[in-house]
Amino acid sequence: MKNVDMQMHVRGTSQFVDDLAAPAGCLHAALVTSRVARGRIRSLDLAEVLAAPGVVAVYTHRDVPGLNEVGHVLRDQPLLAVDQVEYIGQPLALVVAESHQAAWQAAALGRADIEELPAVLDPREALAQGMIHGQKRILVSGDPDAAFQTCRHVVQGRLASGPQEHFYFETQRALAVPTEHDTIKVHASTQSPGAFHRHLAEVLGLPMHKVELDIRRLGGAFGGKESTAVWVVAPALAAFLLKRPVKLVLPRNHDIATSGKRHPYEYDYRIGLDEEGQILAYEVDLYQHAGACADISLAVLGRSFLHASGAYRIPNIRVRAVSCRTNIPPNNAFRGFGVPQGTFAIEAAVTHAAEVLGVPAAQLKRKNLAGDGDVLPFGMVLENTNSGRCWETLDARVDLAARHAAVAEYNRTHTDSKRGLAVVPVCFGISFAQTALNQAGALVNIFVDGSVEVSTGAVEMGQGVNTKIQLVAARTLGIAPDRVRVHTTNTSRVPNASPTSASTGADLNGMATKYACEDLLTRLRRFAGQHLGHDDPEQITIREGVVHLAGKPTELRWEKLVAAAQWARVDLSSHAFYATPNLHLDPKTERGRPFAYYSCGTSLTEVWLDCVRGTYRLESVEVVHDVGRSLSEVIDRGQVAGGVMQGIGWSTVEQLRYAPDGRVLTGANAYKIPDLKSLAPHFAVTLLENSQNPNAVCNSKAVGEPPLIHGLGAWFAILDALRSVRRDKDLPSLPLTPEKVFMYLHG
């Protein structure tokens, strides 16, 4: 089944926040922001702002009725700055005007007298100055020091990965509408209904039952709408104070300049192997470029930390990870949530080691590939991974040895162009690493005409979670999917919802939906048995909208059954709750079982390189990925392809530049994202067959984030082509843009 919103998307009839009819008297908000990366505020002159045409009000931190704080994990991010600024773009004041244009034009007139302090823009420098978020994390498994002494080969290096702009279609925005009894309803583009609901109530000084947050769908998010609540809370503050509807919509370049990105990382790595190429020891330092506020950086770092071994069996390992506080806008979640950064380091280390050993990197990777029964550095035993099956399925499709030989022969016979290939295995843990977030509720109502409505905490943002929940409900109840509607995500129907992220949207909310539908089905089967004069409800089933008795269809159809049940006073509404079982992680020992299961896959990426110009093109991408028993094969294939392309973009062309003073220099016109021309002529996605997963809804496996890791294959394939030209340079940083490639070849 295809995404239920697809036809509306194609026709342009899907409703987003800005498509909602503006209520009468609706005002527009904008933010006065800091032009200094770090400093103490001496004074704030807003006279010109107040006098600007159309301005209705201007607010500072003094006007906040509740808590002037929107920090997601730590209480370190004021809604409106008080006495200091930590990054360019930090909100200083809130402007409310009669129109969007008037608000933003007035906001530009704000003047702040700020005593500038030296800005710190390098993560290693920040660490040296003690500027970090939280505490450094250290994970040791085995005895890496002793193991390195026994290694035949020891390889070390330094590496860096860059930021990535989310570039969602719909920029940050919200519409706040005051309602009776000092309550307020907010329509927002956010992935975190529960957390943002709390932020709204805290800032407004209201109990949470007086705040309603409603989310229909997002025009993309990729993690960029999970944690930073400024742009949702600000218009709500104005609406609450003025008792009028207020909307805030960020212009695209303002969104890019002030919102967080994928976290850049820097790495120091060392890897040791025996004579046969078995990895004996690995150590890595992860320096996360977090930005001025903690936001969600510590959680992202935790995922990098727990995935430092990648897809490999490493008996002795040491991982050190630190979140460095720098004077740029706070970085936040991005598809993959730190796993791509952690995986990049180990993939680079293994590739570097393969060069030293003089063997193909794929050979070394296969030899050390982790599988069922292997123990991860934090003590979790792998099971039901299918990692080996994914690799062998890919090999059977493409013949890795033959492809490697063909590339080697091409490179031997060509000077002005080269080819490169890379095989990337994926081993991605599924669940929130913060155990408490692994919970979800669902409310399912059956109406007297037989139609069904489902409410969950999941947020639809193009990934198809509503379709999957619709399918789960329909399959469980035994009716057609078009009889089921998934309602908006609303904090008054399903409270305290975890964010839709970590690839858990369908897992958690789908399972809660299944439980609620099973509860309703139990009631209906019991009633149907009584209705049919049969005492054993176990003999009653519903298939394709028809009640079956002992496996045979009866004349009792779904609609008639529901109507009769309502008349007999059977409850046709059910709320259910699901909490992922057997999850735990001890923060003191860094040991436990933080993930319910692992999503695995293997991919081959091949590129062609023009050695004269430094340009390249993708020739082929072959992906084999395990999605368990797919809830929707069409959606899962789309998620795999989209994730791979987003990973390719991060690896190759997506580059943000910052000025020496901390300003984001890259705007919409200068930011390159993958397009149709970036797609390899041969792009094949194979979903692993005959896979079961008892740890998720209907034996499925999460698919949103893991495939992005395959996109790293583009970086490693280009590197493979470059190393066939020269190996006298250190590994380049990510992304490998054509400019970097040219300088690597000729600089």
Last residue of a domain, one of 579, 602, 631: 579
The answer as to whether 412 is a domain residue is yes
User: Which helix (H) or strand (E) covers residue 60, if one does?
Assistant: none
Last residue of a domain, one of 579, 600, 622: 579
Residues 467 and 394 in one domain: no
Distance CA 537, CA 109 (A): 71
Question: In this predicted structure, what is the pLDDT of residue 677?
Answer: 85
The answer as to whether 498 is a domain residue is yes
Residues 637 and 537 in one domain: no
Residues 52 and 189 in one domain: yes
The answer as to whether 156 is a domain residue is no
Alpha helices (runs of H) in 263-421, residue ranges in sequence order: 297-306, 339-357, 361-367, 387-398, 400-413
CATH of the domain at 703: 3.30.365.10
Selection from 470, 495, 492, 489 nearest residue 481 by Cα? 470
Residues 396 and 489 in one domain: no
The answer to whether the CB of 428 falls within 8 A of the CB of 598 is yes
The answer as to whether 141 is a domain residue is no
Residues 52 and 187 in one domain: yes
User: Which helix (H) or strand (E) covers residue 466, if one does?
Assistant: helix 465-477
**CB atoms closer than 10 angstroms to residue 481:** 16
Task: Locate 654 and state its tokens.
Answer: 């997506």
Selection from 149, 148, 151 nearest residue 273 by Cα? 151
Q: Is it true that the peptide bond before 735 is cis, omega within 30 degrees of 0?
A: yes
Residues 80 and 202 in one domain: yes
The single-letter code of the amino acid at 101 is: Q
Residues 350 and 415 in one domain: yes
538 is catalytic: no
Distance CA 397, CA 622 (A): 9
The answer to whether the CB of 69 falls within 8 A of the CB of 61 is no
Classified as helix, coil or strand, 15 is coil
The answer as to whether 176 is a domain residue is yes
Backbone angles phi, psi at 733, to 5 degrees: -80, 165
Distance CA 546, CA 555 (A): 8
* DSSP code at position 170: S
The answer to whether the CB of 419 falls within 8 A of the CB of 609 is yes
The answer as to whether 130 is a domain residue is no
| C-alpha 727 chain-centroid distance | 35
Distance CA 640, CA 623 (A): 8
Residues of the chain where predicted confidence (pLDDT) is lower than 70: none
Backbone angles phi, psi at 725, to 5 degrees: -95, -50
The answer as to whether 155 is a domain residue is no
Question: In this predicted structure, what is the pLDDT of residue 162?
Answer: 98
Residues 288 and 333 in one domain: yes
Q: Which domain holds residue 85?
A: 6-118+172-249
The single-letter code of the amino acid at 218 is: L
Task: Locate 302 and state its tokens.
Answer: 């935790």
Sign of the torsion formed by the C-alpha atoms of 303, 308, 311 and 314: negative
Task: Locate 208 and state its tokens.
Answer: 């949470």
Question: In Å, what is the CA distance from 122 to each residue of 125, 654, 662, 734?
Answer: 5, 20, 10, 16
Distance CA 319, CA 141 (A): 9
| ∠ CA 710-715-716, rounded to 5° | 85
Q: Which residues contact 616 (CB under 8 A, 6 or more apart)?
A: 607, 608, 609, 610, 718, 721, 738, 741
Residues 457 and 567 in one domain: yes
Residues 626 and 705 in one domain: yes
47: number of CA atoms within 13 Å, CB side?
Answer: 2
Catalytic residue among 453, 559, 705, 739: 705
| ∠ CA 360-364-370, rounded to 5° | 145
Question: In this predicted structure, what is the pLDDT of residue 534?
Answer: 84
Tally of domains within the chain: 3
Last residue of a domain, one of 221, 249, 277: 249
Residues 73 and 219 in one domain: yes
The answer as to whether 428 is a domain residue is yes
Question: In this predicted structure, what is the pLDDT of residue 463?
Answer: 95
Distance CA 349, CA 719 (A): 13
CATH of the domain at 186: 3.90.1170.50
Residues 340 and 449 in one domain: no
